[in-house]
Amino acid sequence: MEGIALIAGLGNPGKEYEGTRHNAGFMVVDLLLTMLPGTFEKHNGFSSLYWSGRFGGRNVYIQKPMTYMNLSGKAIKSLMDSKKISPQQIMLVYDDMDLPLGTIRMRKDGSSGGHNGIKSVMEETGASDFPRLRIGIGHGNIKEQRDHVLSGFHDEEKEIFSEVTKVSAEAIKLALCRGLDEAMNIYNRKGLVKKASEIKKENPIIK
């Protein structure tokens, strides 16, 4: 598999969506940007905010589509075409109701799982074999799924999600440095994520 060149966090732009479950992807890439060494330059373009820099010896782009979730693929495909990035070189970061809060899963490919942002990317790229990091947000009342994904985290959930964002950003860093297989082996865990500091202690290869 080619090395990852583009990390795209999915979400909705605007103050009213800040901190909501559906914006988990945005929150993870925001944190990732503070954790990467060097300087990543911010740009407005391709219907998105995106950052360019170098990490792991190659050019890396980090993107937040500003198209709203169900058109995310248009922004991502535009940046991919401009920078000659293949679907196998992107990693999508997004919320997933099929995973409990406190869990993450990294995969090399898969279906949309009913997620409108992933559907859009699949439609625009014509591919499904792109890496993705799914961030569990749990199930709401089945009749109120839209209300659930657009809701904020309850007080007792905020500490859990704060740790999830840290672990997710660390997982992406490792995937960039050591490859997706290594990151999957370490970070794909059953049950709640361990603290990032505990994972590092168990795995000395993580810097």
Indicate the SS3 state at residue 180: helix
Q: How far is CA 139 from the centre of its chain?
A: 19
- List the beta strands (DSSP E) in the chain: 6-9, 41-45, 48-55, 58-65, 90-96, 104-107, 132-136
Dihedral pair phi/psi, residue 104, rounded to 5°: -135, 155
Is 115 catalytic? The answer is no
* Among 113, 157, 149, CA closest to 132: 113
Q: Is 20 helix (H, G, I), strand (E, B) or coil?
A: strand
For 26, the token pair is 């945005």
* Distance (Å, whole) CA 174 – CA 191: 21
Look at the block and give the residue holding tokens 């490859």: 179
* Catalytic residue (one of 22, 43, 139, 148): 22
Residue 123 vs residues 88, 99, 151: alpha-carbon distances, Å: 15, 24, 27
Residue numbers annotated as active site: 22
